[in-house]
Amino acid sequence: MDVSRRDVLELAVAGALVAAAAAAHFADATPVLSFAVAAVAIAALARLVGAATEQLGVRVGSSAAGVIQSGLGNLPELFIALFALREGLTRVVQSALVGSVIANSVLVLGIAFVAGGVRHGTQTFNSPRARMIATLTVLAAAILAVPTLAHAFHAPAAAHAKALSLICAGVLLALFFLTLPGFLAGGETAAPAPARWTLATTVVVLAATGVAAAFVSDWFVGALKPATHTLGMSEAFAGLVVVAIAGNAVENVVGVQLAARNRPDFAISVIMNSALQVALLLTPVLVFASLFFATALTLVFPTLLAISLLLAAGIGALVVYDGESTWEEGVILIGFYAVVAASFWWGA
């Protein structure tokens, strides 16, 4: 039994959404509509990419699975960021990268706590793995913040923002490859389902969703600027909230479902791991990739963005170290995210 009825349904839904996004794009629909349809299509494609990489991971053994999942799992976000860089939307890319870490460390964790707490009361979690991932996220956030802090506080290094960003990106990427075997693969043992798809099916799905994701990302980025203008939101807000949430929709849903099923340790691992991969892999890859574009992507973020990143990572660690979650704690995490998001609503 290769492809199940549910798989077919998902493929059909994703296909329909891609078609709708194409229609909106080529029929010159209003930017807000094009933008919204493309965002939903990206989330559906991200889900398919996730399923296909999981199938591929089962075949190649758990040691290589981590590499594949990390690399391909972030494919939709990578496409969006590359197209946005091509358009010179550096601020959107920066906000989306930092926003992914903030959204996972605070908002998604908060929603997971509420979902888990409402059904199961106080949830306790104590896995060293969850604490370790939270610690690593704080460290990665601190590394990401250094060029911004150098700039904000007028350190001499501020005059060498590009060099310092490349050093940070190099260190982050080195850390990714060094720590990958131990950390990122370690958690996959919790999902040991056998391969359902044939290798051919997997490769075809992966190729098709990859190509579709590239196209839809292009349309999404094209509609982003006029849509945000229409809605009155700043580019920073669009990246921090809209792109970050659309790009991470799948991991987020999985994490919240795990919490609702009373598996808080695993939920936290999935949610924080998603943040960690953006920091250790996606961000440095984009910094290096931007060398081939007209405008370089540096790690000199708007200062408030870097400070919010540090606060969010620290709060995420605190909440994970706490060892207990309640829905009240979740509500306050969501409240903190709302305030951070609100502070980026206005444009310059």
257 or 343: CB nearest a second copy: 343
Number of helices followed by number of strands (H, E) in the chain: 16, 2
Check residue 321 for interaction with a second copy (CB under 8 A): yes
**Site pattern 15..54 for a second copy (x: CB under 8 A):** ----------------------------------------
Q: Rule CB under 8 A: choose which of 44, 107, 138, 268 binds a second copy.
A: 138
Check residue 97 for interaction with a second copy (CB under 8 A): no
Q: Rule CB under 8 A: choose which of 183, 197, 219, 266 binds a second copy.
A: 183
Q: Rule CB under 8 A: choose which of 18, 168, 223, 297 binds a second copy.
A: 168
Q: What share of the chain is helix, strand, coil (3-state, %, to 5)?
A: 85, 0, 15
Residue spans of beta strands (DSSP E) within the chain: 123-124, 324-325
Residue 97 burial (C-beta neighbours within 10 Å; 0-12, 13-18, 19+): buried
The DSSP bridge partners found for residue 123 are 325
CB of 81 within 8 A of CB of 97? yes
Least distance in angstroms from the C-beta of 134 to a second copy: 8
Q: Which stretch binds a second copy (CB under 8 A): 59-67, 157-165, 193-201, 213-221?
A: 157-165
Check residue 311 for interaction with a second copy (CB under 8 A): yes
10 or 324: CB nearest a second copy: 324
Binding residues among 279-308 for a second copy as defined by CB under 8 A: 302-304, 307-308
Binding residues among 224-253 for a second copy as defined by CB under 8 A: 234, 236
Least distance in angstroms from the C-beta of 112 to a second copy: 15
Q: Rule CB under 8 A: choose which of 62, 201, 257, 326 binds a second copy.
A: 326
Question: Cα Rg for the chain, rounded, in angstroms?
Answer: 19
Check residue 3 for interaction with a second copy (CB under 8 A): no
- Find where tokens 């460290």 sit: 139
Q: Rule CB under 8 A: choose which of 62, 135, 201, 257 binds a second copy.
A: 135
Least distance in angstroms from the C-beta of 44 to a second copy: 32
Residue 26 burial (C-beta neighbours within 10 Å; 0-12, 13-18, 19+): exposed
Q: Categorise residue 97: left if φ over 0, alpha if ψ from -120 to 50, beta otherwise.
A: alpha
Q: Rule CB under 8 A: choose which of 29, 155, 195, 203 binds a second copy.
A: 155
What is the C-alpha separation between 102 and 272, in angstroms, rounded? 10
Question: Residue 325 in 3-state DSSP?
Answer: strand
Tokens of 201: 């099916």
Tokens of 191: 């999902």
Helices (H), 121-260: 128-152, 161-183, 199-231, 235-237, 244-247, 249-260
155 or 203: CB nearest a second copy: 155
Q: Rule CB under 8 A: choose which of 19, 60, 174, 211 binds a second copy.
A: 174
Least distance in angstroms from the C-beta of 215 to a second copy: 33
C-alpha dist (Å) from residue 310 to 24, 142, 143, 288? 38, 7, 10, 23
62 or 326: CB nearest a second copy: 326
Least distance in angstroms from the C-beta of 226 to a second copy: 20
Cβ contacts of 224 within 8 Å, gap of 6 or more: 35, 84, 89, 92, 238, 243
Angle of CA points 122, 128, 130, to nearest 5°: 65
Applying CB under 8 A, the residues found at the interface with a second copy are 122, 128, 131-132, 135-136, 138-140, 142-143, 146-147, 149-150, 152-157, 159-160, 164, 167-168, 171-172, 174-175, 178-179, 182-183, 234, 236, 302-304, 307-308, 310-311, 314-315, 317-319, 321-324, 326, 328-329, 331-333, 335-336, 338-340, 342-348
